[in-house]
Structure 1
Amino acid sequence: MTKKTGGQFGYERELTGHLADLMRMWMSPRFRDALLGLSRTGCNETDARVIWELGYTSPRRPGSLADDLSLGAAALTKSVNRLTALGLVEAVSDPSDQRARLVNLTDEGRKVAAQLFRIGDYMTETITDGWSEEELALLTDLLARFSEQSSRFGRQLSER
């Protein structure tokens, strides 16, 4: 028997409720602002999201980047302009289409992205402080499997 978790209506599966609680907390502006405050970069949340995403998949076409971040073209353009002025991103030619431009991290932007990733590691290390190596290994293996199967599920959804 599982207990209903995850808000007023609750999920039938306890796991889904816990995942929803995590997503809700991690996506909340208060949590994200506090976490971003650890970076001392002076970037706002949108700029940090752009840097973080480029840290995963740089360089990117602006339209693709906006789609993945659920940003409108205007919001992305403003962010890219701010980050360009700070020397954190630059526009480069797309090798597959010389007419197109890609948004790319500069050397300084890569340093900021690395700092954002270190903050994520710090958060995880703090949350799991006191966990055994076996518990960490088990969680890591299960999350890797969950992530892989989530990606597969996402691809199936997009094929519908």
Structure 2
Amino acid sequence: MSRPQAPRPDRKPLIGLVERANRALQADMVRRAHAAGHTEVKMAHNSVFGFLHPDGARAADMAARAGITRQSMGEVIRDMVALGLLEMRSDPNDGRAKVVDYSEHGRSVAGDGFRYLIELERRFEEEFGEQEYAVVRDVLERLVGVLDRFAAEEDQTSSSAGGSVG
């Protein structure tokens, strides 16, 4: 008795392409940090570098923006504090909470990373052409907007359906 085959896309799914691009970009950032002498930087640190506001932020807020658990974000933050990249201070608005911020060394490392991102974007424009690269960025931004809209519509449909059951 054979099992029915699940349908398979006839080309690499968009989610696979985006994930592969994400991993390649993150690995490139770490490679570049190491080349610049910041050998303490790890791939997991990208979740902080990408989501830590210049004025600092709570770990829970960063975790939500990064799409990871508070526990995972806390583990990365503790590692980066131990490496001297981050500091923790009391939240002036809530004495029970802590705010995460860059140390002086962390600001230097992050600054090098942001300068590299600017250079990388310039190189992409050279590689693909300014207009084609602008289209890539525009389509990705619109894709996120469409997916957010789909999720909101689904949430609204679910809550409407759930609310009418009695």
What is the distance in 1 between the residues matched to 2:150 and 2:115?
Answer: 29
What residue is the counterpart of 1:113 in the other structure? 110
Q: In the alignment, does 2:129 pair up with 1:132?
A: yes
* Partner deviation per Cα, 1:111-160 (whole Å, 9 max, x = no partner): 32233333434444444434333333444444443344444444455665
Q: Deviations over 1:17-60 (max 9, x none)?
A: 3x3233231344x76434411112221111232222215x7532
Q: 2-side partners of 1:154 and 1:100: how far apart? A: 31
Equivalent position of 2:48 in the other structure: 50
CA deviations on 1:65-109 (whole Å, 9 max, x unpaired) are: 334342462x43343223223332111222332221121223432
- The yes-or-no answer on 1:145 pairing with 2:142 is yes
Q: 1:38 aligns with which of 32, 37, 48?
A: 32
- Aligned identity (percent) is 22
Contact 1:58/1:104 (<8 A) preserved: yes
* Residue in structure 2 matched with residue 5 of structure 1 by the alignment: none
Cα RMSD for the two superposed structures = 3.4
Structure 2-normalised TM-score?
Answer: 0.62
Q: Describe the SS at the equivalent of 1:53.
A: coil
Q: What SS is found at the alignment partner of 2:132? A: helix
Instruction: State the 4+ residue runs in structure 1 displaced beyond 4 angstroms.
Output: 154-160
Counterpart Cα distance in 1 of 2:28 and 2:129: 28
**Scaled by the length of structure 1, what TM-score is found?**
0.64
The yes-or-no answer on 1:25 pairing with 2:23 is no
Contact 1:52–1:113 (CA under 8 A) maintained in structure 2: no
Following the alignment from structure 1 to structure 2, what is the Cα–Cα distance between the partners of residues 130 and 44?
27
Q: 1:129 to 1:82 in 2, by over 3 A?
A: same
- Alignment partner, residue 96 of structure 1: 93
- Write the distance in 2 (CA, Å) between the matches of 1:32 and 1:64: 21
Number of residue pairs matched by the alignment: 146
- The answer to whether the Cα contact below 8 Å between 2:124 and 2:133 also exists between their aligned partners in 1 is no
